[in-house]
Chains A and B, each alone.
Chain A
Amino acid sequence: MAIVYEKSRGLTDAELHYCPGCHHGIIHKLVAESLVELGLLDDAIGVCPVGCSVFAYNYFSCDMQEAAHGRAPAVATGIKRTHPNQAVFTYQGDGDLASIGAAEIVHAAMRGEKFTTIFINNAIYGMTGGQMAPTTLIGQKATTCQSGRTKEQAGMPIRMAELLSTLDGCVYAERVCVTDMANLNKAKKAIKKAFQKQMAGEGFTFIEVLSTCPTNWGMTPLKANQWLKDNMVPYYPLGVIKETAPESAEVK
């Protein structure tokens, strides 16, 4: 019988600890498949964050480092600068990247560090139990804004892909989601493109993936999927936010 589907070699056999309906697992799969399909798995070094994906080092089958909260871009800088020909990526949540690690991601992008960041925006602090993130939407309830986030109290949610796009060192930023097959395919394409651009030495590449947290949103997986489409996508538009043409070879 022909094999029509296999678990990616880019993932280990460890059982995922994510809640039912959480998108982290799907996104892991896309990253793992991309590394395998591009022939990068054996070379790759990943950096995982502090957040629900803290155990990603158990799931990706490539070499992995676990970074302090928010510091993955600095850790990846140390790796990539000393291993310039290898694929390096960070996988970070929104609290990790857009809050405590804001300086590290901005400066990695500014320097044009040649690694890829997979940014999981689920509009909440998942691991610590549903506190407000910088990405939490206006009106969205969280345990530290129980009547919903207000602009007066917490400001407007941060759009990281757009913010990083203002930096010349960031050559590619795309926002995707994985709520359905069409979007999932787009997400995979974007992740692969980011790794290709990294390996071509173009600069910093950034994929923001809108993601669900059914547990802390207090929804069923299906409802969470719908909530993401109805509420997150309008504020965080999908698509390519920035793509710089590769610097053309110097003509001598």
Chain B
Amino acid sequence: MEKELWKGNEAIAEAAIRAGCNCFFGYPITPQSEVPEYMSVHLPKAGGVFVQSESEVAAINMVYGAAGSGMRAMTSSSSPGISLKQEGISYMAGAELPCVIVNCMRGGPGLGTIQPGQGDYYQATRGGGNGDYRTVVLSPSNVQEAVDFVQEAFDIADQYRNPVMVVMDGLIGQMMEPIEWRPVPKRDLPPKDWATTGRKGRDHHNVINSLYMDPEECDRHNEHLWEKYALMEKNEVRWEEISCEDAEVVITAYGTPARIALTAIEMLREEGLKVGLFRPITLWPFPEDALRKLSKAGHVKAFLDVEMSSCGQMMDDVRLSVEGRKPIRYLGHAGGVMPTAEEIVDAAKAALKEGA
């Protein structure tokens, strides 16, 4: 298949259109504005609807309305805008509405920086809005994956009737890479017979709602949601292991830091040091069983978690899987500063010493 050169954000938008996205609602924010810009030109040509909303709050609620009436709906934003969408995401999880939300992450907190960041990991993987809920969180580390994941995200969302997030650091949205428009796996999807499309002769009215006044009923609803999330944990977890078979140090990283880690691993291997990469592809569900298994391997002496975050947000999940069996070191930068391969090399050596 032929390779084409695409900018991440534009490729994401095109991928959504190819996946049958009917409508996009968004608000400008760097570094994701190319998504709404591309959508404004190309989605109407494909028969879809584009609306620039007055805010991210409005955008996610437009998604709610459209998704509730049976559409494949999408919105995208970057960190501060994703914060504003949390109310709507919680309502959509509660009302069991499918949608795709792209977070092209920048550094925070507050206005932070427009440079790439990974500081929204907690927000993405722990629900983010109020109440007990989860969203599947796909995290590409190159433009090809971004394109594939966005297309698959619509099917995952429809299968479970739940929002799906595609979360990446701003670098992946901004950079250009060769990609191919390869077919992504398609799923057998249930009909959207719950959607508010107008009754049109149906013998009952459909209602989209997240309110359950009766505590018992609300409890049952939550139980139903958690059964659904358990299915997602079972069926949707994804990760990649590179050079882990003999690794004494395992680097855990996702997105851009995972790519930099690969360069570092090459440098380390040239020096004869056995280092591998464990890359979660779904941040939720987190590949905890796979990482737990790896942490039990005799050859693994230590872990090194690398993130574009000052405190190591994913490291919490790494800790929960490693369960104290091996030491875990952390290397992180925030504010758009990226970890260098040299830094990772040094940190991996330090980790090895610690684990020896």
Selected contact of B61 from candidates A57, A62, A68, A82, CB within 8 Å:
A68
**In the complex, which residue of chain B has the Cβ closest to the Cβ of A68?**
B91
Binary B-proximity of A57-74 (CB < 8 A = 1, otherwise 0):
110111111111001001
Residues 59-82 of B at the A interface (beta carbon under 8 Å): 59, 61-69, 71, 73
Q: Is A177 an interface residue, CB under 8 A from the partner? A: no
Task: Report which B residues bind A (CB closer than 8 A).
Answer: 22-23, 25, 49, 51, 53-55, 57-59, 61-69, 71, 73, 87-88, 91, 95, 196-201, 205-211
Shortest C-beta distance, A68 to chain B (Å), equals 5
Contact A83 B91 (CB under 8 A): no
User: Which of the candidate stretches A37-45, A183-191, A236-244 sits at the interface with the other chain?
Assistant: A37-45
Contact A66 B51 (CB under 8 A): no
Q: With a CB–CB cut-off of 8 A, which chain B residues contact A82?
A: 22-23, 49, 66, 69, 71
Contact A62 B87 (CB under 8 A): no
Contact A79 B88 (CB under 8 A): no
Contact B207 A83 (CB under 8 A): no
Contact A42 B64 (CB under 8 A): no
Q: With a CB–CB cut-off of 8 A, which chain A residues contact B69?
A: 45, 63, 65, 78-79, 82-83
Label chain A's interface by main secondary structure: mixed
Q: With a CB–CB cut-off of 8 A, which chain A residues contact B58?
A: 71, 74, 77, 103-104, 107
Contact A79 B200 (CB under 8 A): no
Contact B23 A78 (CB under 8 A): yes
Q: What are 15 A-B interface contacts by the 8 Å CB criterion? A: A63-B197, A65-B208, A68-B61, A68-B87, A74-B53, A77-B65, A78-B63, A78-B67, A79-B66, A79-B196, A82-B49, A83-B198, A103-B58, A104-B61, A107-B58
Shortest C-beta distance, B104 to chain A (Å), equals 22
Known: A42-B201, A65-B196. 13 other contacts (CB 8 A): A41-B199, A45-B197, A64-B209, A65-B65, A65-B209, A66-B209, A75-B62, A77-B51, A78-B63, A81-B23, A82-B22, A104-B54, A104-B57
Q: With a CB–CB cut-off of 8 A, which chain A residues contact B65?
A: 47, 65, 67, 74-79
Interface extent on A, as a size class?
A: 35 or more
Q: Is A216 an interface residue, CB under 8 A from the partner? A: no
Q: With a CB–CB cut-off of 8 A, which chain B residues contact A71?
A: 57-58, 61, 64, 87-88
Q: Is A86 an interface residue, CB under 8 A from the partner? A: yes
Q: With a CB–CB cut-off of 8 A, which chain A residues contact B22?
A: 82
Shortest C-beta distance, A13 to chain B (Å), equals 12
Q: With a CB–CB cut-off of 8 A, which chain B residues contact A76?
A: 65
User: Among the interface residues B22, B71, B205, which one has the most CB atoms of the partner chain A within 10 A?
Assistant: B205
Task: Report which A residues bind B (CB closer than 8 A).
Answer: 12, 41-45, 47, 54, 57-58, 60-68, 71, 74-79, 81-83, 86, 103-104, 106-107, 111
**In the complex, which residue of chain A has the Cβ closest to the Cβ of B66?**
A78
Q: With a CB–CB cut-off of 8 A, which chain B residues contact A64?
A: 196, 205-209
Shortest C-beta distance, B82 to chain A (Å), equals 16
A75, B68: Cα distance in complex, Å? 9
Contact B62 A45 (CB under 8 A): no
A67, B91: Cα distance in complex, Å? 8
Shortest C-beta distance, A110 to chain B (Å), equals 8
Contact B62 A107 (CB under 8 A): no
Shortest C-beta distance, A61 to chain B (Å), equals 5
A71, B198: Cα distance in complex, Å? 20
